[in-house]
């Protein structure tokens, strides 16, 4: 059976970046860099509304000083948080045991095509004694569900790049109708109930540049190699989860992943903050996305 640890390299689709070492031995000079701290904190928002019928979550915190990243009072409490869809208001309440975590009072499912607006009020993020208000808006995308999964044992199938065709393992294929419009996807996978890539920075980004309006018939989405960190066995259960996200949220996730895994300075641009959709100078994102899941047991 499968171990419970997190895996990083089960997917052939992830590129491997080799290090380039440049030895600069001449013309060296000691340089003092002044990393200034003490800037006023700003509000950081992680708000997500999905098509799952659940109590949805908004997380509020403050940005931290470079020199004090583990400050204990980053959670923002006492805020007024709600979401509207033009005809109904969904109020959120802070969890007593989780400062800065707000959940909707009622369980509800986001509806495709509906425009939602997030309101955050009564917040003093910068601690200047004056409360601020923040807003964000997003429209739930349209998407179709995964029809089914198939597990095929053998060498990695396209579109994987296979350095060794003799390397064997389990290919996880999915079947679905791709809508005609341009779509952006985030995917993750769980094995025996354990999610392997739970964070946005770990999920796989995909677009439907070559499948718009087509039926996707057995496209490989994950490959579990026998000699990898997570070999599968007969009887293991695999569940694939696909989020259909907005273009701006896809860009936001791309920014987060680039910040965590920056390119080499000579080949990439300067680091930048992730592009959010909050007003008032807050960091973060209010995301609306559809969720589709399918599972299979290896036989």
200-242 pLDDT per residue, tens: 999 999 888 878 778 999 989 999 999 888 899 999 999 999 9
Q: Which of 82, 109, 139 is the last residue of a domain?
A: 139
Does 128 map to a domain? yes
Q: What is the pLDDT of residue 33?
A: 43
Domain match, 111 and 205 both: no
State the residue range of the domain holding 73. Answer: 43-139
Which of 139, 173, 205 terminates a domain? The answer is 139
Q: Is pLDDT of 169 > 90?
A: yes
Same domain, yes or no: 195 and 104: no
Backbone torsions φ then ψ of 100, nearest 5 degrees:
85, -5
Partnered with residue 46 across adjacent β-strands are 59, 285
Burial of 290 (0-12, 13-18, 19+ CB in 10 A): buried
Coil/strand/helix, residue 255 = helix
Give the model confidence (pLDDT) of 251-291 as tens digits: 999 999 988 876 555 455 545 568 899 999 999 999 999 99
CATH number of the structural domain spanning residue 116: 2.60.40
For residues 162 and 123, state if they share a domain: no
Identify whether residues 59 and 201 lie together within a single domain. no
Look at residue 19 and tell me whether its pLDDT is greater than 50.
Answer: no
In-domain check, residue 4:
no
| Same domain, yes or no: 184 and 293 | yes
Residues 152 and 293 both lie in one domain = yes
- Looking at the domain assignment, is residue 192 inside a domain? yes
The answer to whether residues 123 and 220 belong to one domain is: no
Beta bridge partners of 54: 108
161 and 256 fall within a common domain: yes
| 259 and 116 inside one domain | no
Strands (E), the chain: 43-50, 57-62, 80-84, 89-95, 98-104, 115-123, 132-139, 146-155, 168-177, 184-191, 194-195, 204-207, 215-225, 237-245, 283-297
Considering only 12-21, 58-67, 101-110, 117-126, which range has the smallest mean pLDDT? 12-21
- Statement: the pTM of the whole predicted model exceeds 0.75: yes
- Across the chain, what does the average pLDDT equal? 83
Half-sphere exposure in the Cβ direction for 238 (13 Å, CA):
26
User: What is the distance between the alpha carbons of residues 299 and 240, in angstroms, rounded to a whole number?
Assistant: 17
Does 273 map to a domain?
no
How many domains in the chain? Answer: 2
Answer yes or no: do 229 and 252 share one domain: yes
Residue 274 lies in a domain: no
Of 31 and 20, the structure prediction assigns the larger pLDDT to 31
User: Taking Cα atoms as reference points, which of 113, 152, 146 lies closest to residue 242?
Assistant: 146
Asked whether residue 96 is assigned to any structural domain, the reply reads yes
21: pLDDT strictly greater than 50: no
Rounded CA gap, 190 and 245, in Å?
A: 20
Q: Same structural domain for residues 152 and 240?
A: yes
Domain boundary among 99, 124, 139: 139
d(CA 161, CA 169): 14
Three-state SS at 247: helix
């Amino acid at each position: 059976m499968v171990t419970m640890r997190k895996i990083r390299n089960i997917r052939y689709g992830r590129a491997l970046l080799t290090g380039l070492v440049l030895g600069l031995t001449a013309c060296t000079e000691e340089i003092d860099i002044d990393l200034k701290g003490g800037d006023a904190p700003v509000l950081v928002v992680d708000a997500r509304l999905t098509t799952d019928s659940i109590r949805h979550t908004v997380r509020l915190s403050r940005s931290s000083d470079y020199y004090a990243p583990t400050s204990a009072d980053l959670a923002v409490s006492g805020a007024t948080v709600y979401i509207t869809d033009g005809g109904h208001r969904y109020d959120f309440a802070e969890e007593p045991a989780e400062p800065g975590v707000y959940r909707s009072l009622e369980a509800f499912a986001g509806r495709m095509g509906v425009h939602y607006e997030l309101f955050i009020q009564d917040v003093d993020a910068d601690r200047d004694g004056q409360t601020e208000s923040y807003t964000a808006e997003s429209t739930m995308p349209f998407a179709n569900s995964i029809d089914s999964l198939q597990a095929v044992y053998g060498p990695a199938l396209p579109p994987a790049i296979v350095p060794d065709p003799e390397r064997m393992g389990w290919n996880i294929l999915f079947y679905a109708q791709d809508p005609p419009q341009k779509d952006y996807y985030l995917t993750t996978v769980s094995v025996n109930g354990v999610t392997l890539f739970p964070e946005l920075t770990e999920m796989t980004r995909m677009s439907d540049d070559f499948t718009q309006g087509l039926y996707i018939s057995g496209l490989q989405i994950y490959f579990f190699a026998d000699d990898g960190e997570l070999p599968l066995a007969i009887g293991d259960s695999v569940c694939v989860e696909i989020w259909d996200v907005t273009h701006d949220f896809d860009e936001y996730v791309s920014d987060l992943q680039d910040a965590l895994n920056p390119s080499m300075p000579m080949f990439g641009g300067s680091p930048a903050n992730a592009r959010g959709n909050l007003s008032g100078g807050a960091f973060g994102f209010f995301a609306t996305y559809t969720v589709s899941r399918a599972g299979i047991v290896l036989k």
